[in-house]
Amino acid sequence: MTPAPVVERPAGPRRALSDLAAAVSAEWVRLRSVRTTWWGAAAALALMCAVAPSVAVSTVSNAQNGTVPVAQVPAAEMAVYATLWVVQFVVIGLVLPVVTTEYSSGAVRASLQAVPVRWRLLAAKAVVTAGFAFVLGAVAASAGTVLAFAVMSHPYLAGYGTLEAGAAVVSVLRQGAYLALVAVTALGAGAALRSVAGALTALFLLVVGLPVMLLMMGGDTSVFWSERTLFVAGAAFMDTDLALGPVGIGPFSAGVVILCWSAAASAVGALVLARRDA
């Protein structure tokens, strides 16, 4: 059997798009075929289901004890709290190996032989991990919202929680979108730094260290920039006062800020991937 002749397709955007779609399908096979993915997803769900109702209980008891003003609190905000403080870190831990394990195992060489246009490999990974994080985030947020509302509907806590379907759906979608962009940011950092340890450190500093440092510094300028960090903008984007207190930018501007972070991380990751030897 001699090698089959290859019918060449003309180079151009159609071929590039078709190859990107094929690469996305391959990345989905890669993501779903490792246990890390499903352990991470299970952990995200479990933590959401633990944290959101707990926050509901503590919020209501704080209100009953008079430590915070008594108010009607949307159940969806409990899920946002969990997404911001817990679930996003699980998503980072789930997404990083998607690129870093390729380097540590050397499998990236096989991947790049199949997809030699390097930005395409990273783009395919970004599409798949963002999609996965979105679905995972939306599912977890729905579960968290429903659970939190169920807890707040208990006679002991009754009267504080609200569940308004339209607002809850918007909140759930925003949580999914935030986690999708966090996933893309993590992927970019992983591609740029290549090691889990390095990327985790960088992301910890970016997501937590930077906003806390800026807020601690105080002053208008620091606060201004703190609102442009991923974490604080995330709180604003998911439209919560509960998780972090009021933030000075609106959900739309916050969305743009998050988009910029993920775009910047992807650009750096793609640049490093393209420049360096695999």
Partner 1 sequence: MITLRGLTKRYGDVLAVDSLDLEVRPGRVTGFLGPNGAGKSTTMRMVLGLDHPTSGRALVGGRPYRELDRPLHHVGAVLDARAVHPGRSGRAHLLALARTHRIPDRRVDDVLERVGLEGAARRRAGTFSLGMSQRLGIAAALLGDPGVLLFDEPVNGLDPDGVRWIRELMRELAGQGRTVFVSSHLMAEMQLTADHLVVIGRGRLIADAPLAEVLAHSAWTAVVVRSPHPEDLVTALAAEGAEVERAGPTELVVTGLGTERVGELAHRAGVVVHELRTRDASLEQAYRELTENAVQYTARDGERP
Contacts with partner 1 by CB under 8 A lie at 1-4, 6, 8-9, 11, 15, 19, 22-23, 25-27, 29-30, 33-36, 101-102, 105-107, 109-117, 275, 277-278
Do the beta carbons of residue 47 and residue 87 sit within 8 Å? Answer: yes
Which residues are within 8 A (CB) of 60 and not within 5 positions of it... i.e. 6 or more apart?
A: 73, 152, 157, 160, 161
CB closer to partner 1 out of 121 and 236: 121
Q: How far is the CB of 19 from partner 1 (least distance, A)?
A: 8
> Minimum Å distance from CB 123 to partner 1?
13
Residue 205 or 274: which CB sits closer to partner 1? 274
DSSP one-letter string for 141-160 = HHHHHHHHHHHHTSTTTTTS
DSSP state of 162: E
| Residue 32 C-beta: closest distance to partner 1, Å | 8
Q: Cβ of residue 161: shortest distance to partner 1, in angstroms?
A: 41
Nearer to partner 1, 217 or 274 (CB): 274
Q: How far is CA 138 from the centre of its chain?
A: 11
Which residue, 4 or 216, has its beta carbon nearer to partner 1? 4
Report the residue count for the chain. 278
Q: How far is the CB of 66 from partner 1 (least distance, A)?
A: 52
C-beta atoms surrounding 238 within 10 Å: 30
Q: Would you say 34 and 132 are in contact if contact means Cβ atoms under 8 Å apart?
A: no
The CA distance from 134 to 139, in Å, is 8
CB of 98 to partner 1, least distance (A): 10
> Is the Cβ of residue 29 or residue 216 nearer to partner 1 in the bound state?
29
Nearer to partner 1, 7 or 165 (CB): 7
Distance CA 48, CA 81 (A): 9
Residue 183 token pair? 């996933």
Q: Alpha-carbon torsion 3, 4, 5, 10, what sign?
A: negative
Structure tokens at 172: 């759930």
